Structure 1
Amino acid sequence: MTTDQSMSAAVSAEGVQRSALEGLRTLAPRPLTLDDTGLSRHFLTELLIKHLYDAGLLTSKKLMQRTALAGPVLEGLIEFLRKEVLIDVHGQGFDNRELSYGLTQRGRDVAIDAFARSGYLGPAPVPVERYRELVRAQSVHGSKVTATSLNRVFESVVLRDALKEQLGPAMNSGRAIFIYGPAGTGKTYITQKLTGLFDDSCLIPYAISVNEQVVSLFDPLLHQPIEEAIHTPSLLFDQGYDARFVNCRRPRVVTGGELGMDMLEIHFNPVTKEFQAPLQLKANNGIFIIDDMGRQRATPMEIFNRWIVPMEEKRDYLTLGAGRHFQTPFDQILVFSSNINPLDLADEAFLRRIGYKIYFGYLERDEYAQIWQQVCAEKGIAFDPGLLEFAISELHARRDVALRPCHPRDLLGMAQDRVRYLGGDAASLDAQALTWAWDSYFVSLDAEVEMSPSPAAGRRNDHV
C-alpha cells in the first residue's frame, strides 16, 4: 500500500468513527444538567459520598470517571455537598493541578447510612424509563438477516442449504426458535454462531434505576465492549455519548443444564445489598440461547411458562421484592436447543407460540467427508481418503453408528493423542490409531453388560 493509500484509508476510518460517534450521541446524548440524568440530587449526592468513602480522596476527574457524570453535573453536586459540610477540600492533587475532595465526619456518617440501604458502588444508573426507550431504538429485530450475510457467517461450516433456508427467516421473524435433534448433530455450535449475523453494536447501561433502587446490568462475562478511539479522555467527559452506557457487541447469553428459575429473576445479595439483573435482561438487544433444554434444574414446563408473556407481549415483568414490580423490554432472539423430542417437553399449545421448529439430523457421507477434511487441515493431519473410507465403511457402517458432525474432530483428536504418546508422527494417522480412538470413545457394550444391575438393564444398545 502506498503512502497516499494509507492516508486515504486512515481518513476513511476516521470518517466512519466520527459517524459512529454522531449516531451514539443521537441515541444517548450526554446529560449536562441534573434534570438530564433523570435522577434526583439526593440519589446522586449519596452515590458521590459512597465513592469518596470507598476511595478516601478523589479529584473531580476521578469522580467523573467513577460516576460517569459530566463536569457541569458533578460541579453542582460538589458545591451542594460543600455547603452541607459533607465534603471538604484537601488541597491540590498529586499532579499539583487539581483539587482533591474528602468526606467530613458528617459525610462519613451519611455514607455509612447510604451503604446500609444500598451497596451499589459504580457509575450512575440509567432510569428504567430511559432504558426502555433505548432498547426499542436499537432493537435486534431491526437488523435484518439476508442470505448473503448468513452464507458469510457459515462460509466455513458444513451446513446443508435446507437448514440455512430455515435459520435465516427464523432470525428475522421476531419469534422464538426451537432447534432439536440427536446429540452431536451440531445444534450448540450452530446456534452460538448465529450472533455473527449481527455486526453492529448496542449500548448497555452499567445499571438501571427503578425508583432509585439500582439493578446492576452490565456483565463483563457476557457483554463485549468495543474498543474505540472516539471515547477518549481528551473529550473531558463532557462530550460524546452518555458515559453511563458501554458500547458493546450485541449480547450472546448461553445457558444450559445449570439454569434455574432463580436465574430468570432479579437477584438480591443480602451481604452486599446489591440487585443483579437476570439473564434475559442482560440478553436484551441480542440473542438468548437455552441449550440442553429438558436437562435444567427447573422442569421444562416451568421454564416454558416463564416465557409465555414475554414472547407474546415483548415485555417482561420483574420484582424487587416486597411487591415492587416493574416492566422491562423483552427484545431478544430466544433460542431453545434440545436433543429431546419437543413433544416430550411441552404441550402443543406452547409449541404453537414458537414460530420455528428446526430439526438437525445426521450427516450424509459427503457432509461427513467435508468435516473430516476440515478437521485434518486444522490439526495438521495429512488427509488420507483411505482412512476416511475406513472410518465410514468399517467403523460407522459395520457398527451401525450414524454419522454426526462431532465424530471427525473427536476421533481424529484422540487418534493423534495416542500417536503422540507412542512417539510417532502426529501428522500421519493409520487405521490402528483410529480404531483405538473409536474403542476409547464409544461405550464398550461388553462393559455395559458387566456393569448392568439386572439382565433387563443389560440389553445391548449402541451408546456414545
Structure 2
Amino acid sequence: MPPAGYAYEDNPFKLENPSVLDIAPGEPKSLEDTGLRMGLLADLGLKFLYYAGTGTGVAIAESMCLPWSGVVEHVVDFLAAEKLVDLRGGKGFGRASVEFALTEKGREYARDALTRSTYVGPAPVPIEQYNALISSQTEETPVVGQEDLVAALGHLTVSAELMDKLGPAVNSGRSLFLYGPPGNGKTSLAEAISHMFGGEVFVPHCLEIDNQIIKVFDRIIHTPVPLEMGRDANGRRQTFEMDKRWSLCRRPAVVVGGELTLETLDLIYSESTRFYEAPFQVKANGGMLLIDDFGRQKVHPTDLLNRWIVPLEKRVDFLTLHTGKKFEIPFDQLLVFSTNLDPKELVDEAFLRRIKYKIEVGNPDEESYREIFRRVCEAAGIPYVDQAITYLVEHYYKPRSMEMRSCHPRDLVSLIRDAARYRQIPPALSKDLLDQACEVFLVNL
C-alpha cells in the first residue's frame, strides 16, 4: 500500500493510473509470505553462489529479489546448517555483509540443482498469488471515454461512425475482430487502441507451479515504471516498498503474425535450460494481444480459433507442464484479430458469435483520402496541393476503377521523395513526380 499521507493528486511517480498502487503486492516479511518452498529458495541461493564464486547475504537477497531480513537470512541459515556454505568473512557488521562461499558438498548440491533447472535470478511468484493479483488488477482497468478515443486516434483519419463502433468494443475488454481490405490501417488502429488504455500493470519476473519456473517478464514487451516517490515535506526521500519479484510496467501490447502456432500458445519448455517461457497471451495479461494478418498462419484458422473458445468465454486459460499437469491462469487482455480475409471464410458462425465485436475497416472515401494525403505531406515536409489529388483521382483511380486505400498516400509520397532525390530537386506534388510515382506503384493495383 502507498505510504501514509500519500496523495494521488501529487502523483510523484508520474503514473497514468496511480490507484494501481492500492493492489501492489507488499514486500514479503517471512518465508511463508513468499509462498515458496525452502528447497526452491535454497536451490536459487546455491546456483547464485556457484556462478558468482562468493557473495554477501545482501548480494544473494538482491539476486533473488527478496528481503534479507526475515526471508533470505533463513535460507542462508538453512544452507549453513546443512554445511552447504561457509562464511568467508566480510566488511561491516551483521551477517548480511558477510561473504559466503559453497563448500564441496554445496558445489555438488548446486550442480544437482542445475540439472533440474539452470534458472538463476528473481525468485518466482506462486501461481496462486499471481492469479489473485491479476483478478484484482482487472478491476482497475480504466474506462475509455469518447474524448480518450478521439485523442488516441488523433494521428489517424477515422470516421465518426467507426469511432462509435470502436469505443464500446474497447471498453468491453474482451475480443474484437477487425476486417477489411489490406492497407487501410487495421494494425495501426489496434496499436492505437492498446495505447489508449494507458495506466500500468504488475508483471512478475517468473511464476512457480509444482516447483517448475515459468519466465514471464520480457524486456521486448514489458516497459518498467520506476517506483521512486521523490521527497517528503522534511526533505527525506520516500520509497515504495513492494515485492521486488514483480515489476510495475506500462500496459503491454503484444503483436504476433504469421509466426503464431498452436505450440506457441502453450508453455514453451527448453530442454537445455529446463525452465519455461510463458506464451504470448500470458505476457499480454493486463493489455492487448493482436493477432495480425489472421488467416495467414501455418496452422488452420479453425484450429487456432478453437484454442481460444474457453479463454474467451471463461476469461481463464489452461496451460500444461511437460509433466502433463494442467493448471488455470487468468486470460485478461483485449484480444484483437486483424484480417484482410472475409471472416465468414475463415471461421464458422459458432465462433464468430463468441466474438461480440466485428468491425469492418473499409476503404476511405475521397474526402478522407485527401485528408490522409494532407497529413502525410505535412509529416514529410512536402507542400500539399489539393489540385494534385484531383488530378490523381481523375487520371488514375477513376479510369482504372481502382479502390482508394489508406496506405496509398504514404506510399506515393515515399516514391515522390525517391524520384526527387534522384533528380536532385525538391520533392513536390508536381505532375511529373506524381506521374512517375503512379506509373510504378498503381500499375498492378
Q: TM-score normalized by structure 2?
A: 0.91
Task: Report SS of the residue matched to 2:110.
Answer: helix
- Separation in structure 2 between the aligned mates of residue 153 and residue 115 of structure 1, nearest angstrom: 48
Partner of 2:4: none
Structure 1, unmatched stretches of 5+, are: 1-10, 445-463
- Going from structure 1 to structure 2, the CA distance change for 1:52 and 1:25 (only over 3 Å counts) comes to farther
Aligned mates of 2:12, 2:412 — CA distance in 1:
49
Cα contact 2:15–2:199 (8 A) shared by 1: no
Structure 2 residue runs of 5 or longer lacking an equivalent are 1-7
Alpha-carbon distance, 1:26 to partner: 4.3
Q: Deviation of residue 441 (structure 1)?
A: 2.1
CA distance in 2, matches of 1:119, 1:223: 23
Instruction: Give a deviation string over 1:268-305, Cα, whole Å, max 9, x none.
Output: 11111121111111111111110111000111001110
Amino acid in structure 1 at the alignment position of 2:343:
P
> Are 2:25 and 1:28 equivalent residues in the alignment?
yes
Q: Could you tell me how far apart the structure 2 residues matched to 1:71 and 1:328 are?
A: 30
In the other structure, the counterpart of 1:417 is 418
Shift of 1:90: 2.3
Residues 1:62 and 2:22 aligned together: no
Which residue does the alignment assign to 1:125?
124
Cα distance, 1:25 vs structure 2: 6.5
Distance 1:343-1:18 versus aligned 2 partners, 3 A rule: closer
> Given the superposition, is the C-alpha separation of residues 239 and 178 from structure 1 closer, same or farther in structure 2, using an over 3 Å criterion?
closer
Once the two structures are aligned, what percentage of the paired residues are identical?
Answer: 36
**Distance change >3 Å, CA 338–CA 24, structure 1 → 2:** same
Write the mapping of 1:312-461 to structure 2, written as runs, cut at 5 A: 312-426=313-427, 428-442=428-442, 444=444
Contact kept? 2:124, 2:205, Cα under 8 Å: yes
CA deviation vs aligned residue, 1:186-219 (integer Å, no higher than 9, x gap): 1111111101221210100000100111111111
The RMSD of aligned alpha carbons is: 2.6
Q: For the residues of structure 2 that align with 1:296 and 1:64, how far apart are their CA atoms?
A: 44
Deviations 1:54-112 (A, max 9, x none): 222222332222110012111111122122211122222699x9322221111111111
Say whether the 8 Å CA contact 1:177–1:355 is kept in structure 2. Answer: yes
Q: Which stretch of the first structure deviates more once superposed, 19-28 or 404-413?
A: 19-28
CA deviations on 1:3-49 (whole Å, 9 max, x unpaired) are xxxxxxxx965656699888537431110100000001111011111
Match of 2:177 in 1: 178
**1:299-322 deviation per Cα after TM superposition (whole angstroms, max 9, x unaligned):** 100111000011111111110023
Contact 1:141–1:174 under 8 Å retained in 2: no
Per-residue deviation, 1:399: 2.1
Aligned-partner Cα distance in 2 for 1:298–1:408 = 34
The aligned counterpart of 2:76 is 78
Tell me which residue corresponds to 2:88.
Answer: 90
Tell me what 2:292 maps to. 291
Deviations 1:146-172 (A, max 9, x none): 111111111232100111111110112
State the secondary structure of the residue aligned to 1:138: helix
Alignment of 1:237-248 (within 5 A): 240-248=241-249
Do 2:23 and 2:136's aligned partners in 1 also have CA atoms closer than 8 Å? no
Q: 2: distance between equivalents of 1:371 and 1:165?
A: 20
- Mapped to 1, the partners of 2:183 and 2:86 lie a distance apart of 64
Structure 2 match to 1:447: none
8 Å Cα contact 2:11-2:18 kept in structure 1: no
Report the equivalent of 2:282: 281
Name whichever structure is richer in helix by fraction: 1
Partner of 2:213: 214
CA distance in 2, matches of 1:174, 1:12: 27
- For 2:142, the equivalent position in structure 1 comes to 143
Alpha-carbon distance in structure 2 between the residues aligned to 1:101 and 1:180: 60
Change (3 A) 1:228 1:398: farther
| Higher mean C-alpha displacement, 219-228 vs 127-136 | 219-228
Inter-CA distance 406–26: structure 2 relative to 1 (3 Å threshold)? closer
**Hey, what's the Cα distance between the residues in 1 that align with 2:16 and 2:302?**
46
1:187 aligns with 2:189: no
Aligned to 1:451: none
Cα pair 2:419 2:433 within 8 Å, conserved: yes
TM-score normalised per structure 1: 0.88
CA distance in 2, matches of 1:245, 1:184: 39
- Give the distance between the partners of 2:109 and 2:251, measured in 1 at CA: 39
Higher mean alpha-carbon deviation, 85-94 vs 15-24, is at: 15-24
Alignment-mate amino acid for residue 221 of structure 1 = I
Aligned residues: 432
- 8 A Cα contact 2:184 2:407, kept in partner: yes
Deviates more, 1:381-390 or 1:138-147: 138-147
Mapped to 1, the partners of 2:119 and 2:332 lie a distance apart of: 26
Cα gap change, 1:54/1:19 in structure 2, threshold over 3 Å: closer, same or farther? Answer: same
Q: Distance in 2 between matches of 1:92 and 1:350?
A: 64
Amino acid paired to 1:322 = T
Moved over 4 A (4+): 11-23
